[in-house]
């Protein structure tokens, strides 16, 4: 499996995911600021919008960190990164797998741009409702599915880390502690080291 990635971007999530999964993969550096990098033919096929991360796994090619996380977690069930399809925890897992692209990121963009929130109109609710829902979801934790770490923690955990990094994390012991738990994971640290060394 090839991972098309660029350090200090959302592709950090895919790197963390593959390090957690412990599967063989090859990293292909894509400099998103250099147009010639975007011409890699496999990357162009895997990522129609020219965005990282993307993967090429034989004939299977796809982009988007959430889609990649679903693909890898289901392809390698032994990694335990997704509850089995007949496990009732799969329901909460689906919800949290789409929470980052569907709610956290648009709410962050709204907040960042200074746009007026409109809870009823906007599919992501508002930044404040996103934070309240996220905190509630972690609850006693340690992970979104309770004791079981899953790919949903890679997506939402990296978002908690981004919120912290961009100084957008409100005064929340729950989210702060969750971000710390994520960053303490050996696979997270390996991914951070790979990124720093690139």
Ligand X SMILES: N[C@@H](CCC(=O)N[C@@H](CS)C(=O)NCC(=O)O)C(=O)O
Applying CB under 6 A, the residues found at the interface with ligand X are 9-10, 32, 50-53, 64-65, 101
Q: Which is nearer to ligand X, 38 or 89 (CB)?
A: 38
Q: Which is nearer to ligand X, 52 or 73 (CB)?
A: 52
161 vs 164: CA distance, rounded Å = 5
Side-chain-side CA neighbours of residue 138 (13 Å): 20
In 2-88, alpha helices (H): 11-21, 41-46, 65-75
Side-chain-side CA neighbours of residue 163 (13 Å): 29
96 vs 21: CA distance, rounded Å = 19
Task: Give me the least distance between CB of 86 and ligand X, in Å please.
Answer: 28
Task: Give me the least distance between CB of 38 and ligand X, in Å please.
Answer: 7
Task: Give me the least distance between CB of 12 and ligand X, in Å please.
Answer: 9
Q: Which is nearer to ligand X, 101 or 141 (CB)?
A: 101
Q: Which is nearer to ligand X, 101 or 142 (CB)?
A: 101
C-alpha distances out from residue 158 to 66, 81, 121, Å: 11, 15, 27
Q: Which is nearer to ligand X, 82 or 154 (CB)?
A: 154
Task: Give me the least distance between CB of 64 and ligand X, in Å please.
Answer: 4
Task: Give me the least distance between CB of 24 and ligand X, in Å please.
Answer: 22
Q: Which is nearer to ligand X, 36 or 136 (CB)?
A: 36
CA-closest candidate to residue 14, choices 49, 47, 59: 47
Task: Give me the least distance between CB of 135 and ligand X, in Å please.
Answer: 22
83 vs 89: CA distance, rounded Å = 6
- If residue 152 lies in a helix (H) or strand (E), which one and from where to where? helix 151-165
**Helix or strand or coil: residue 96?**
helix
């Amino acid at each position: 499996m090839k991972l098309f990635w660029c350090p200090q971007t959302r592709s950090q999530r895919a790197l963390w995911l593959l390090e957690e999964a412990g599967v063989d993969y090859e990293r292909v550096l894509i400099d998103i600021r250099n147009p010639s990098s975007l011409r890699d033919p496999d990357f162009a096929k895997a990522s129609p919008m020219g965005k990282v991360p993307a993967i090429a796994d034989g004939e299977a090619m796809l982009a988007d960190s959430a889609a990649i996380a679903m693909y890898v977690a289901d392809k390698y069930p032994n990694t335990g990164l997704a509850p089995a399809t007949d496990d009732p925890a799969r329901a909460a897992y689906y919800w949290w797998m789409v929470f980052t692209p569907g709610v956290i990121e648009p709410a962050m963009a709204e907040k960042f741009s200074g746009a007026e929130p409109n809870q009823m109109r906007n599919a992501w609710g508002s930044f404040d409702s996103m934070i309240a829902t996220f905190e509630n979801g972690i609850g006693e934790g340690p992970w979104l599915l309770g004791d079981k770490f899953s790919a949903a923690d890679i997506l939402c955990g990296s978002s908690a880390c981004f919120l912290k990094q961009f100084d957008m994390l409100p005064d929340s012991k729950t989210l702060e502690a969750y971000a710390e738990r994520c960053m303490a994971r050996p696979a997270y640290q390996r991914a951070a080291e790979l990124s720093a060394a690139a």
